[in-house]
Amino acid sequence: MTEPPASLDEETESGEEEMPDDDVERLHGAAVTVTNGQTVLHTDKAEYHDLIEALNDDDYGVCVDLCGADYLGNDTRSLPATVPAERFELVVNLLDVKASRRMRVRVQLPEVAPTVATITDIHPGAEAMEREANDMFGIEFEGHPDPTPILLPDDWQGHPLRKDFSMGRIPVQFKAVDGR
């Protein structure tokens, strides 16, 4: 595993007290990895909301991006040993505008009922992005103020960015042609 940045060490130690000793660097109880120079936290749906809140107190005050990802059929994903892999992931990119640094949070969500708490109470700007993730992956956000489709039509069936949603399924209607 790659070494996390030195600045994390202090906070990591406090997190390790309550966590089992398993050689994984932790921040607020979530496993830390560094890929391509970017710090990533791994968590699950139960810890997610508290983690975002704790990071908000650490000055990661802007939720720049929130999106889903579907790992169906992808065996190349690398996760810390302590994080059980699930089919869906919710990826949240946070920004600290005071210290110009970024943090990414990857939340493992199960295939059946991928439901997670909303973070719109902490970051109101996540509202539209959560609606989009709901449209595209069927990830439901508990407590979201307006859980309606945002990019898809209201009567749309299915979640297009899931890997088992095939492309080109809708037949094109030609009005001028008889028999269609």
Selected from 23, 100, 155, 175, the binder of another protein by CB under 8 A is 100
Nearest by Cα to 25 from 9, 49, 46: 9
> DSSP letter string over 44-104?
ETTTHHHHHHHHHHTT--EEEEEEEEE-TT-------TTS---SEEEEEEEEETTTTEEEE
Under 8 Å CB-to-CB from 79, ≥6 apart: which residues? 42, 85, 108
Could you tell me the smallest distance in angstroms from the CB atom of residue 30 to another protein?
16
Interface positions, 36-55, toward another protein (CB under 8 A): 36, 38, 40
Q: Is 67 in the site for another protein (CB under 8 A)?
A: yes
Alpha carbons within 13 A on the beta-carbon side of 16: 13
Q: Is 64 in the site for another protein (CB under 8 A)?
A: yes
Query: Do 41 and 32 meet the contact criterion of CB atoms below 8 Å apart?
Result: yes
Q: Is 70 in the site for another protein (CB under 8 A)?
A: yes
Q: Which residue, 15 or 87, has its beta carbon nearer to another protein?
A: 87
Q: Binding string to another protein for residues 116 to 155, with x set by CB under 8 A, is what?
A: -------xxxxxxx--x---x------------xxxxx--
Q: Which residue, 26 or 39, has its beta carbon nearer to another protein?
A: 39
Rounded Cα gap, residues 137 and 159, in angstroms: 5
Q: Which residue, 19 or 162, has its beta carbon nearer to another protein?
A: 162
Residues near another protein (CB under 8 A): 35-36, 38, 40, 61-65, 67, 69-71, 74-78, 91, 93, 97, 100, 102, 104, 123-129, 132, 136, 149-153, 160-161, 167
